[in-house]
Amino acid sequence: MTETIAAKQIRVKGIVQGVGFRPYVYQLAGRFKLCGHVANTAAGVRIHVEGPQTDIAAFLASIPAEAPPLAQITDVDTMDAPTEGFHRFDIIASRDDSAKSALISPDVAICDDCLQEMLSPRDRRFRYPFINCTNCGPRYTIIDDIPYDRPQTSMASFPMCALCQAEYDDPENRRFHAQPNACPVCGPHVQLLDGSGQASDTKDPIGTAVGLLKQGRIVAIKGLGGFHLAVDAENEPAVARLRQRKHREEKPLAVMAYDGDRIRRFAHLDDEEMAVLASPQRPILLLAKRSDQALAPSVAPHNRYFGVMLPYAPLHYLLLEKAFAALVMTSANLSEEPIAISNHEAVERLAGIADAFLVHNRDIYLRCDDSIVRKTAGVTRFIRRARGYVPTPVFLNHTPPPVLACGAALKNTVCLTKEDRAFISQHIGDLENLATYGAFRDTIAHLQRILAITPQAIACDLHPDYLSTRYTTEQSDLPVIQVQHHHAHIVSAMAENHLDGRVIGLAFDGTGYGPDGTIWGGEVLLAENNRYERAAFLEPLPMPGGTAAIKAPWRMAISYLYQAFGESFRDLDTPFMASVDLKEADILVAMMQQRLNAPLTSSMGRLFDGIAALIGLRSSVAFEGQAAMELEMIAAPEAAAPYDFSWQASDHGLRIPTAPIIQGVVTDIQHGLSNAHISRRFHTTLIHLLTDLCSYLHRQTELDRVVLSGGTFQNAILLEELSRSLAKNGFAVYAHRLVPPNDGGISLGQAVAAGAMLADGA
């Protein structure tokens, strides 16, 4: 008895292009002896199969179960179709379609198969730095439009040789329809340029670059999403020179090492951390320094951690293979400008910084920095989300109208929503200069094109003077929805945790514009997607000198002391007061009294800064958050009692005075207690205070979900111990896993909040 022949049409959505999905379907159809075809469409992948019912059912069940490692299926639609009498199964050419919702894969690190081939002398791609296959290689950064086919990528200008074409056409081959497929005969090549951009006549550009690096030279190296500046991480004068030329004084520099064995020479590395490092995304992971390590002190001064990554582009393996314990690999830019991506731009902007340029002729269409992650409370969390993760969307639990969100002023990202997906861009940078503003505009245009999204509204911050606000006024035809910074923080964490309704939101960070015109940053909100109410906040106090007080935490220390002790703060017998020029302190007090250039802030970040300065840890900082980070790092591991704390009712919610905490810190200083102990007591104080405060709010509101967001929650002690303490008191606690807790996550919160306000008919 023969089973009747049936036919089905199947549409698969998700990340199913550029990840070897069609050859996978082809082989699967072969296994079940089904006929028909598979094609990429702009909406995903479409399959037509014909065969016995039971075989089709088995085939359908296998599609998600055995999908290729880089595929991410979000939807499978199956419909009956007329049988057409096919006799074989084919992969057919891409068809355009009006509904573009195919998901583009992020850039993927070289896979083990390609690495083996590259290092094998008999392979035709031996030491060829552009080797790739359907499981690895560049994607997001080389795509100009969808569907994802070679003519729409920066590989369009490299026609394949006969051998590459044969691989590309063979469904059994690992390089079947691998769009960036190339070899030394037909593909891109590296070239070495001198410091002025002139081509050098070396026959071995990579070997020569390695030689320069060994001599302590700075080499700009073109990677996947932009240029790095590289130096030998063991060569202190070279690393110091890089810092000086790049105007980067103290911020840690990331390093890249060949493998786990070499990393273990300078950092602690367990199996879980190794798995994060070796994942196809290859992020920079913060690893604790070994005490006996020998990397240059300038790599990460005053820091217990190194930012470490494994090689991800084939070129990186060739550079690191023989020579170095590690290379410093830092984004090629000046301070907070965008990373350089074109050869011409690199030579122009990095003149005087790089001694040589290792470039190639495969264009980068979109810049994308390295991602940075840290493991806290057993979870890998983002500090910066970019290469390897973008443009993978965050899936929402609802379908807001399509919105473009412009993000925050610092650590800017943008976000576009479509159906139940929120596409957060790569880290763009601080929107404070025109170069970054250009990158911001390019990224929006590019994402709108490759995602085919036409937003119905633009979301932005409340702040009147941001560059992103200027952008929204240029898009005059769309309604603009302003979302308060800390509301956006809380909604970003709600969105990735699929929370609806009302929550207690703890939003702690350095700076965010408050609707009352003061600078917020120590906020306890009762928040929903579309609205919030300020339930409690750190008592606002002046920042003498405005942004100058961010760069000079000693100014904040004076402000806290003045608040806590009044005029008599001048007589305090502490090393800090002994170090302060009293005339300067008087100027600050006058500014505060007359409210001259002394904006009020409730910022938690400033409180960390102020205490760091009070205990003599740091009176000025080279980058925002530095003092707070160092205060966390010195905290003693053993428990300590909290300082006194309280809160008082006010017209705008509960006010948390800082004076009792500051008075406690000063008493400990005067009693000669260690900084480690004081830091621990301060952390303990916050944990007790916030747990008690949430319990109080719970009694008022019955809310039992607490959401943690804002840059302060990069602090591992606070995140871990506060989460534990809240959980012990019966709260469900939600933090970030998919986007950074810092301002890099703001665009997601803005998009979801604005979508909710729009749906509300606001």
Query: What is the binding site for Zn ion (CB under 5 A)?
Result: 111, 114, 133, 135-136, 161, 164, 183, 185-186
Report the residue number whose CB is nearest to Fe ion.
509
Choose among 200, 184, 190, 199: nearest CA to 221: 190
Give the residue with the Cβ less far from Zn ion, 178 or 665: 178
430 binds Fe ion (CB under 5 A): no
Using CA atoms of 150, 151, 152, 155 in order, give the dihedral in degrees to the nearest 10. 60
**Which stretch in 89-97, 357-365, 463-471, 503-511 sits in contact with Fe ion by CB under 5 A?**
503-511
Residue 499, contacted partner among Fe ion, Zn ion, none, CB below 5-8 A by kind: none
Strands (DSSP E) found in 385-444:
394-395, 403-405, 415-418, 421-424
Give the residue with the Cβ less far from Zn ion, 119 or 480: 119
| Helix or strand holding residue 272 (H, E) | helix 271-278
Under rule CB under 5 A, how many of the chain's residues touch Fe ion? 3
**Which stretch in 37-45, 271-279, 416-424, 736-744 sits in contact with Fe ion by CB under 5 A?**
736-744
Residue 114, contacted partner among Fe ion, Zn ion, none, CB below 5-8 A by kind: Zn ion
**Which stretch in 95-103, 354-362, 509-517, 669-677 sits in contact with Fe ion by CB under 5 A?**
509-517
Residue 743, contacted partner among Zn ion, Fe ion, none, CB below 5-8 A by kind: Fe ion
Give the residue with the Cβ less far from Fe ion, 603 or 675: 603
Residue 509, contacted partner among Zn ion, Fe ion, none, CB below 5-8 A by kind: Fe ion
Give the residue with the Cβ less far from Fe ion, 624 or 743: 743
Q: To the nearest whole angstrom, how small is the minimum distance from the Cβ of residue 602 to Fe ion? A: 13
Residue 388, contacted partner among Zn ion, Fe ion, none, CB below 5-8 A by kind: none
Q: To the nearest whole angstrom, how small is the minimum distance from the Cβ of residue 474 to Fe ion? A: 25
Choose among 617, 498, 608, 485: nearest CA to 556: 608
The set of long-range contacts for 585-594, using a CB threshold of 8 Å and a minimum separation of 24, is: 585/558, 588/544, 588/545, 588/555, 588/558, 588/559, 589/558, 589/562, 591/542, 591/544, 591/545, 592/542, 592/544, 592/559, 592/562
Residue 391, contacted partner among Zn ion, Fe ion, none, CB below 5-8 A by kind: none
- Classify the C-alpha dihedral 350-351-353-354 as positive or negative: positive
Of the candidates 708, 713, 743, 750, which one interacts with Fe ion according to CB under 5 A? 743
Q: Please say whether the beta carbons of 440 and 448 come within 8 A.
A: no
Give the residue with the Cβ less far from Fe ion, 51 or 749: 749
Residues 511-570 that bind Fe ion (CB under 5 A): 512
Q: To the nearest whole angstrom, how small is the minimum distance from the Cβ of residue 311 to Zn ion? A: 14
d(CA 410, CA 336): 10
d(CA 593, CA 143): 56
Q: To the nearest whole angstrom, how small is the minimum distance from the Cβ of residue 151 to Zn ion? A: 17
Give the residue with the Cβ less far from Zn ion, 114 or 308: 114
Residue 136, contacted partner among Fe ion, Zn ion, none, CB below 5-8 A by kind: Zn ion
Residue 161, contacted partner among Fe ion, Zn ion, none, CB below 5-8 A by kind: Zn ion
Q: Kindly provide the b/e burial profile for residues 109-124, where b requires at least 16 CB atoms within 10 angstroms of the residue's own CB.
A: bbbeebbebbeeeeee
Q: To the nearest whole angstrom, how small is the minimum distance from the Cβ of residue 624 to Fe ion? A: 11
Give the count of beta carbons closer than 10 Å to the beta carbon of residue 140. 28
How does DSSP classify residue 153?
Answer: B
Q: Which residues contact 151 (CB under 8 A, 6 or more apart)?
A: none
Give the residue with the Cβ less far from Zn ion, 105 or 658: 105
- Classify the C-alpha dihedral 336-341-342-347 as positive or negative: positive
Q: To the nearest whole angstrom, how small is the minimum distance from the Cβ of residue 510 to Fe ion? A: 7
Q: To the nearest whole angstrom, how small is the minimum distance from the Cβ of residue 637 to Fe ion? A: 29
Q: To the nearest whole angstrom, how small is the minimum distance from the Cβ of residue 107 to Zn ion? A: 12
Q: To the nearest whole angstrom, how small is the minimum distance from the Cβ of residue 640 to Zn ion? A: 52
d(CA 281, CA 273): 13
Give the residue with the Cβ less far from Fe ion, 319 or 408: 408
Burial of 398 (0-12, 13-18, 19+ CB in 10 A): middle
Supply φ then ψ for residue 185, to 5 degrees: -75, -40
Q: To the nearest whole angstrom, how small is the minimum distance from the Cβ of residue 695 to Zn ion? A: 53
Give the residue with the Cβ less far from Fe ion, 226 or 512: 512
Of the candidates 117, 234, 337, 509, which one interacts with Fe ion according to CB under 5 A? 509
Query: Is there a cis peptide before residue 741, judged by omega within 30 degrees of 0?
Result: no
Supply φ then ψ for residue 707, to 5 degrees: -110, 130
Residue 186, contacted partner among Zn ion, Fe ion, none, CB below 5-8 A by kind: Zn ion
d(CA 5, CA 80): 12
Alpha helices for 505-574 (secondary structure H):
548-551, 553-565
For strand 503-513 and strand 705-709, is the pairing parallel, antiparallel, or unpaired?
parallel
Q: State CA 352 to chain mean position distance.
A: 29
Q: To the nearest whole angstrom, how small is the minimum distance from the Cβ of residue 513 to Fe ion? A: 10
**Which stretch in 21-29, 262-270, 337-345, 737-745 sits in contact with Fe ion by CB under 5 A?**
737-745
Give the residue with the Cβ less far from Zn ion, 184 or 616: 184
Choose among 381, 475, 368: nearest CA to 413: 368
Give the residue with the Cβ less far from Fe ion, 180 or 710: 710
Give the residue with the Cβ less far from Fe ion, 219 or 507: 507
d(CA 164, CA 108): 20
Q: To the nearest whole angstrom, how small is the minimum distance from the Cβ of residue 480 to Zn ion? A: 44
Strands (DSSP E) found in 363-475:
372-376, 379-384, 394-395, 403-405, 415-418, 421-424, 457-460
Residues 118-137 that bind Fe ion (CB under 5 A): none
For strand 421-424 and strand 72-80, is the pairing parallel, antiparallel, or unpaired?
unpaired
Contact map string, positions 210 to 239, toward Fe ion, x by CB under 5 A? ------------------------------
Give the residue with the Cβ less far from Zn ion, 188 or 455: 188
**Which residues of this protein are in contact with Fe ion, per CB under 5 A?**
509, 512, 743
